[in-house]
Amino acid sequence: MSSKKNQTRKKILQATWKMLEESNGQNTKMADIAKTAGISRQAMYLHFDSRIELMIATVKYVDEIKELNKRLELFNAAKTGVEMLNSLVEVWGNYIPEIYSIAKAMLLTKENDEATATAWMGCMSGLRSYCQQTIETIYKEKQLNHNWKIQEAVEILWTYISIHNWEQLTLECNWSNQKFIKNTQTLLHSILLT
């Protein structure tokens, strides 16, 4: 059928991702992406209505490839709340650097664009629900520090494993990714557990 169209679409998505990776999420122009994909700038609009749609599509594309869900098997296998907490931080912490470029692009664009903001919220609400599950389990096991209501604990967890915090600690403070994961685990234990 339109398998040729799909091929080109894929080429564009790959080119977009490549460009984002190379520029750390900034300054990726339609013309540049087109050049990398080996097509004309105008042809981009045969596949995506706008730059923003392309970005959102790229997020989905990368997300499929990176298979966060499969990685979360470790999380799903966890027996206790504390194990859930540890594997959530580990899986997510290892995921961030792989999607950082596209995530960064989204974070910058979402401020000026409603559609991007909505798409990004969708991605983040997935993470948030994992945080919710984790905290609820910890609570049921009577391990949750009495300082915190469940919802507050969820929000703290969600915030402290955010991409912005990862960015600041690894890129600005030069922490290794392992150090980020390890320290975040340790410190969430002190905060959240009895």
Partner DNA sequence: TAATTACTTGACACTGTGTCAATTGAATGT
Partner DNA sequence: ACATTCAATTGACACAGTGTCAAGTAATTA
Residues in touch with its own copies (CB under 8 A): 25-27, 104, 108, 111-112, 145, 147, 152, 155-156, 158-160, 162, 164-165, 168-169, 173, 175, 183, 186-187, 190-191
Whichever of 101 and 137 has its CB closer to its own copies, that residue is: 101
Based on the number of CB atoms within 10 Å of its own CB, is 173 exposed (0-12), middle (13-18) or buried (19 or more)? exposed
Nearest distance in Å: CB 55, DNA: 10
Looking at residue 172, the DSSP 8-state letter turns out to be I
Q: Which does 57 bind (CB under 5 to 8 A by kind): DNA, its own copies, none?
A: none
Residue placing its CB nearer to its own copies in the complex, 8 or 28: 28
In the Cβ-directed half-sphere of 146, how many Cα atoms lie within 13 Å? 0
**DSSP code, position 50:** S
Find which of its own copies, DNA, none residue 152 binds, CB within 5 to 8 Å per kind: its own copies
Residue 144 bridge partners (DSSP): 193
By C-beta, is 13 or 154 nearer to its own copies? 154
Q: Distance (Å, rounded) from C-alpha 45 to C-alpha 41?
A: 8
Minimum distance, C-beta of residue 171 to DNA, in the bound complex (Å): 24
* 164, interface contact from its own copies, DNA, none, CB < 5-8 Å by kind: its own copies
d(CA 153, CA 149): 6
Q: Which does 2 bind (CB under 5 to 8 A by kind): its own copies, DNA, none?
A: DNA
- Count of C-beta atoms within a 10 Å radius of residue 152: 11
Largest CA distance in the chain: 60
First-to-last C-alpha distance (Å) of the chain: 60
Interface contacts to DNA, rule CB under 7 A: 2, 4-5, 7-8, 29-31, 38-43, 45-47, 49-52
Shortest CB 104 distance to its own copies, Å: 8
